[in-house]
Amino acid sequence: MPTAIINSLGTYLPKKILTNFDLEKMVDTTDSWIKERTGIEERRIADDEETTSILGFKAASAALQNGNCSPDKIELIILATTTSDYPMPSSAALIQAMLKATNAGAFDIQAACSGFIYGLTLAKAYIEANIYKKILLVASDKLSSVINYEDRNTCILFGDGAVAALISNEGEGLEIKTSNLGAEGIYSQHLLIPAGGSKKPASEDTVKDKLHSVKMEGKEVFKHAIRRMAKSSLECLEKLNIQVKDINWVIPHQANFRIMETLAKQLEIPFSKVFRTVHKYGNTSAASVGIALSELFESQEVKPKDHLLLTAFGSGFTWGSVILKKTETND
């Protein structure tokens, strides 16, 4: 059976920085409250021209360049996003056009902040089934387009960004060893955008009532996120028949420093092994785990045969984990 390997990664973070001090001027909050409760210091915000597909295209171009791969070699583009440019067509199709990936199929998947993990799982399945040999997985979100910057419960948390992974059946990089996905739709009301879909199409009232922005019950999300990421991580380890001590790095969804800290305690893993970018980018939704993975990979800290545990949780609720193993040679 072919194995699925992440050969290269690329990211794109918008230039504009929104700091906690900027937010102090916008809502009733403070830098110290945000840092203490979330660990976030700043986040990136895309400008008007930088749509989700453009963020994704820039990350995809970087991944292709880092992997020395031309766009025409790509057979499939999977985009994980919650903030597609349009309800129709998919933003994956827009990225396909911008890349000129003339031999690729393209579609979006929606698993909110678990999107990158869901995408890795799909890519692994396609490659192992020998359906495709080269897949570009993109995760891109412009959460700032669905945030109410008058709601201090949500506006402090999110940022914009994108990541892309070139995944193939050959070469060096990070082998996708196993994965585990889950969902519990009964909790959908705890984290959602109430309008703009088929249930409540856009109207004057939905705009007036600010129903096109993220609504969240933070405490509920917090509780479920820890429980689900811990359980799904352990299930993944069991599937691969390895122990927590065999994991060299944990890369959790970058939503909140305290969630990561509690997760590390529950997994009984030193916090120094938990890779973090939340302080500088906030929660970039589908892109969050991938952006952190890319930064860790670039840091040269990942050694041959290292095991990396990725785990995420998001609206749905959805969650999932993936274990990656660095291939033996260090190209």
Q: Contact residues for ligand COA (CB under 6 A)? A: 29, 33, 37-38, 113, 152-153, 156-157, 216, 218-219, 221-222, 225, 255-256, 283, 313-314
Residue at token pair 């918008």: 14
From the CB of 116, what's the least distance to ligand COA, in Å?
12
Q: Which phi-psi region, left, alpha or beta, contains residue 86 (left: φ > 0; alpha: ψ -120 to 50)?
A: beta
Q: Evaluate whether 254 touches 277 at the Cβ level (below 8 Å).
A: yes
Residues annotated catalytic, as ranges: 113, 253, 283
Please, which residue, 24 or 246, has the CB nearer to ligand COA?
Answer: 24
Query: Can you give the length of the chain in residues?
Result: 331
From the CB of 308, what's the least distance to ligand COA, in Å?
20
From the CB of 81, what's the least distance to ligand COA, in Å?
14
The CB density around residue 21, as the number of other CB atoms within 10 Å, is 12
Please, which residue, 145 or 153, has the CB nearer to ligand COA?
Answer: 153
Residue nearest to ligand COA (CB): 218
Q: Evaluate whether 166 touches 133 at the Cβ level (below 8 Å).
A: no
Please, which residue, 98 or 146, has the CB nearer to ligand COA?
Answer: 146
Q: Can you spell out the DSSP letters for 174-238?
A: EEEEEEEEEE-GGGGGGEE--SSSSSS---HHHHHTTTTS-EE-HHHHHHHHHHHHHHHHHHHHH
From the CB of 261, what's the least distance to ligand COA, in Å?
12
Please, which residue, 3 or 148, has the CB nearer to ligand COA?
Answer: 148
Please, which residue, 95 or 264, has the CB nearer to ligand COA?
Answer: 264
**12 DSSP β-pair partners:** 162
The set of residues, in sequence order, having a beta carbon less than 8 Å from that of 279 and lying 6+ positions away, is 39, 40, 41, 42, 257
